[in-house]
Amino acid sequence: MKNEQLLMLKPDLAGLEKAAVILQGGGLVSFPTETVYGLGADARNDRAVARIYEAKGRPSFNPLIVHVADADAAARYCEFNDIAQRLAQAFWPGALTLVLPLKADAGISKLVTAGLDTLAIRVPDHPVAAGLLGAFGGPVAAPSANPSGKVSPTTAAHVADGLGDKIDAVVNGGHCAVGVESTIVSCVGDPALLRAGGIPAEALEACLGRALVVGQDPELPTAPGQLESHYAPRGKVRLNAPYAQEGEVLLGFGPVDADLNLSVAGDLTEAAAHLFAYLHQLDAMGAKKIAVSPIPDHGLGRAINDRLKRAAAPR
């Protein structure tokens, strides 16, 4: 049974005002960004942030990404060095999260940072997210708006299906254009890629004129073979499959005869935009075994393959 209280808000002024009031009161509001739908709460309010973990059923307090309206707002909460400044200038608003030293007086809930002295922060490139951040006027902590371990939502309907009875409202802003989460770069020490995502690492490296070191995504366990099952559809996933075997549904890429095709043209941007919606659709189809075409491991393909590996991890 879905919560009859779930408010589906229109992305107009009245809807955004209402959403802002809910956030101010410590409520949970899901909103669209260019990457995926976020599950937002006031990042300064411990109880509100705790409700995020509760709603998602997260087994542990992973640190969350804070969303702000612009780089000036971000500078209130963390320290920017030259590299961070350059990346923010080039890619904000956009699908880039920067991990930066947290300012002592930032007032961000410790539940957001999981006690770390760094903060992950970004300026989303979406008119509805921007409107909400403007109306609210404060920092919004927001992980993807899905139950822990499930596929990230790229439509308001995905959010309602997964979390409808656990949150207060969702602002309906249609589907998300990028379709995979933001790229995470740590600017503490040598700039490091912590998570492949919506902005290709190559673009960041071109901007900086240097290679990113590969950092450790804190969500990934260190020992091989313990890869956390994540982003998982209900069916069993087999990767790098040129074609489907008996009983498998093929999630294709490129010119293959597939049940669902991420991009017939072999376009990685189009594939990223379709990825989570198609994983949801495979659940809706009742697919028990899913084969996935090989996907080139460069540009957005790295983010896609990262998500697919987690979908295929033993659970």
121 interacts with ligand TXA by CB under 6 A: no
- Please, what is the minimum distance in Å from the beta carbon of residue 143 to ligand TXA? 3
Using the rule CB under 6 A, is 99 a contact of ligand TXA?
yes
Is residue 281 within the footprint of ligand TXA (CB under 6 A)?
A: no
| Ranges within 186-225 binding ligand TXA (CB under 6 A) | 194-195, 217-219
Whose Cβ is closer to ligand TXA: residue 33's or residue 263's? Answer: 33
Q: Which of 48, 83, 184, 287 binds ligand TXA (CB under 6 A)?
A: 184
Q: How are beta strands 260-261 and 289-292 bridged, if at all?
A: unpaired
Q: Is the separation of the CB atoms in 169 and 9 below 8 Å?
A: yes
Residue 43: DSSP 8-state: T
Pick 26 or 101: Cβ nearer ligand TXA = 101
- CA–CA separation, 183 and 200 (whole Å): 7
Q: Which stretch binds ligand TXA (CB under 6 A): 57-65, 86-94, 233-241, 244-252?
A: 57-65
Q: Binder to ligand TXA among 22, 28, 43, 64 (CB under 6 A)?
A: 64
Query: What is the token pair recorded at 156?
Result: 């308001």
Q: Which stretch binds ligand TXA (CB under 6 A): 15-23, 35-43, 259-267, 296-304?
A: 35-43
Residue 233 partner contact from ligand TXA, Mg ion, none using kind-dependent CB cut-offs of 5 to 8 Å: none
Per-residue contact string for residues 113-152; x = within reach of Mg ion by CB under 5 A: -------------------------------x--------
Question: Which residue from 222, 202, 224 is spatially nearest to 212, judged by alpha carbons?
Answer: 202
d(CA 3, CA 167): 9
Residue 182 in the binding site for Mg ion (CB under 5 A): no
Q: Kindly state whether residue 35 participates in binding ligand TXA, applying the rule CB under 6 A.
A: yes
∠ CA 44-48-53, nearest 5°, is 115
Q: Which does 28 bind (CB under 5 to 8 A by kind): Mg ion, ligand TXA, none?
A: none
Crossing angle for the helix pair 82-91 and 201-208, to the nearest 10 degrees: 120
Alpha helices in the chain (DSSP H): 13-24, 46-56, 71-77, 82-91, 110-113, 127-136, 156-163, 201-208, 268-285, 300-312
For the chain, state the CA radius of gyration: 19
Output 97 or 109, the one with its CB closest to ligand TXA.
Answer: 97
The Cα-based distances of 57 to 33, 60, 145, 149, 303 in angstroms read 22, 9, 11, 9, 24
Positions touching ligand TXA (CB under 6 A) are 33, 35-36, 38, 62-65, 97, 99, 113, 116, 118-120, 124, 142-144, 181-182, 184, 194-195, 217-219
Positions touching Mg ion (CB under 5 A) are 144
